[in-house]
């Protein structure tokens, strides 16, 4: 009796652990949208170590809806001046891939980390003009080797801050 009980308990323990592990892996992909990017672009190197300003690459935050990501041409404009990185494909495989995109005149299709549904209206400009720092919504991106969501951009998250900062909360503010 006692032995059977512990075998069942052990099986239960194993399945709970396995389910937990699967859940952890899957939720990591759903919550953080952790999919490998076509090039392992590193914010900690560009924005962190090299201190390239966020807006140098994401100019759209000042006008329009999309923060935008630089084109291959813009990446290459800086990287072509650094042939040392190209001579070391073992250490910098991503730079060699970048060169291949440039030569093939192929755009890089990045996976989106943050994505709102189409019925939601969001503009960077309004928020940036109010002096809200990138870190408030995106976390310390300059320290991230891979960008992850600092906040899941749910309606509750938007509305909570709007209430705190006396910004409009009527439905039509954010929904068309
Ligand atoms: C204004 C200059 C500049 C721009 C623009 C720029 N980079 Fe870089 N990038 C650098 C520098 C400097 C390094 C070297 C970092 C180091 O080793 O400290 C680097 C390193 C890299 C690496 C190597 C990282 C590694 O560890 O393998 C990759 C890959 C890369 N960049 C891709 C890109 C892509 C893709 C873009 C465009 C979206 C881009 N870079 C735009 C300056 C730039
Ligand atoms: C050298 C160019 C460059 C600089 C500088 C840079 N970024 Fe980026 N950023 C990119 C590229 C390329 C991507 C797309 C690939 C990725 O997600 O890593 C990106 C993606 C992002 C994303 C995820 C967007 C999404 O939803 O997919 C955020 C958020 C972001 N950057 C914020 C910042 C912030 C904040 C800074 C300054 C601390 C910064 N970036 C500096 C090039 C840059
Ligand atoms: C009030 C919160 C907030 C602030 C402040 C903010 N962002 Fe965002 N950001 C978002 C949301 C929400 C999205 C998703 C937008 C979408 O899917 O339409 C986003 C998307 C992005 C993207 C994805 C690319 C794109 O074109 O949509 C980048 C890059 C980005 N932000 C960079 C920045 C940078 C750089 C700053 C600071 C100058 C900044 N953000 C400030 C909330 C914010
Ligand atoms: C950290 C605080 C904060 C967060 C998070 C935030 N907002 Fe805002 N938002 C503001 C403030 C403050 C304003 C008012 C700007 C002004 O009127 O000058 C604003 C203004 C706006 C406006 C323009 C309103 C108007 O009529 O001019 C829209 C649209 C908007 N936010 C959508 C969103 C959406 C969608 C999200 C979530 C994805 C979001 N915001 C998240 C602080 C925030
Ligand atoms: C400050 C911005 C903001 C305001 C104000 C706002 N919403 Fe939203 N709403 C969002 C965002 C962002 C999403 C998408 C993310 C999510 O589903 O949580 C969303 C999603 C929704 C959805 C879809 C939910 C789903 O499960 O797909 C409905 C319905 C909705 N909102 C209704 C409303 C109504 C009704 C009001 C007014 C009482 C309102 N919203 C006000 C930002 C806002």
Question: Quick one: pLDDT at residue 20?
Answer: 62
50 lines ligand 1 (CB under 6 A): yes
Note the pLDDT of residue 122.
94
Q: How far is the CA of 59 from the centre of ligand 1 (A)?
A: 17
Residues having CB closer than 6 A to ligand 3 are: 54-55, 58, 60-61, 66-69, 114-116, 122, 124, 127-128, 132, 134, 136-138, 153
- Spell out the domain ranges in the chain: 35-69+110-174
Nearest CA to ligand 1 atom 41: 75
Task: Choose among 38, 42, 144: nearest CA to 100.
Answer: 38
Report pLDDT for 70.
93
pTM exceeds 0.85 for this model: yes
Cβ of 46 less than 6 Å from ligand 2: yes
pLDDT at 1: 46
Among the bound ligands, name the one nearest to the CA of residue 114. 2
Q: What is the pLDDT of residue 27?
A: 55
- Are the beta carbons of 35 and 29 closer than 8 angstroms? yes
Q: What is the pLDDT of residue 8?
A: 72
Q: For residues 54 and 168, what is the distance between their CA atoms, to the nearest angstrom?
A: 27
Atom 27 (ligand 1): residue with closest C-alpha? 92
User: What span, in angstroms and rounded, lies between the C-alpha atoms of 71 and 101?
Assistant: 11
Residue with CA closest to ligand 2 atom 24: 113
For residue 46, report the distance from its CA to the centre of ligand 5, in Å.
Answer: 35
Secondary structure (DSSP) of 159-176: HHHHHHTT---SHHHHB-
The pLDDT value recorded for residue 88 is 87
Q: Give the pLDDT of residue 24.
A: 56
Kindly state if the Cβ of 137 falls inside 6 Å of ligand 4: yes
Distances in Å between the alpha carbon of 96 and those of 10, 36, 74, 107, 170? Answer: 50, 17, 16, 15, 49
Instruction: Please identify every stretch of the chain with a pLDDT value under 70, giving residue numbers as ranges.
Output: 1-5, 9-14, 16-34, 64
């Amino acid at each position: 009796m006692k032995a059977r009980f512990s075998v069942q308990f052990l099986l239960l323990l194993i399945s709970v652990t396995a389910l937990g592990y699967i859940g952890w892996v899957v939720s990591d992909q759903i919550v953080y949208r952790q999919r490998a990017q076509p090039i392992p672009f590193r914010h900690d190197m560009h924005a962190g170590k090299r201190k390239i300003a966020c807006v140098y690459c994401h100019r759209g935050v000042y006008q329009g809806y999309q923060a935008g990501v630089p084109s291959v041409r813009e990446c290459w404009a800086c990287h072509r001046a650094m042939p040392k990185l190209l001579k070391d494909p073992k250490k910098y495989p991503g730079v060699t891939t970048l060169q291949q995109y440039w030569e093939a005149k192929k755009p890089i299709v990045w996976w989106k980390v943050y994505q709102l549904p189409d019925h939601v209206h969001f503009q960077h400009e309004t928020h940036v003009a109010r002096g809200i720092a990138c870190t408030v919504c995106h976390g310390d991106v300059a320290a991230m080797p891979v960008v992850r969501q600092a906040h899941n951009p749910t309606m509750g998250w938007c509305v909570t801050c709007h209430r705190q900062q006396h910004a409009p909360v009527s439905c039509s503010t954010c929904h068309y």
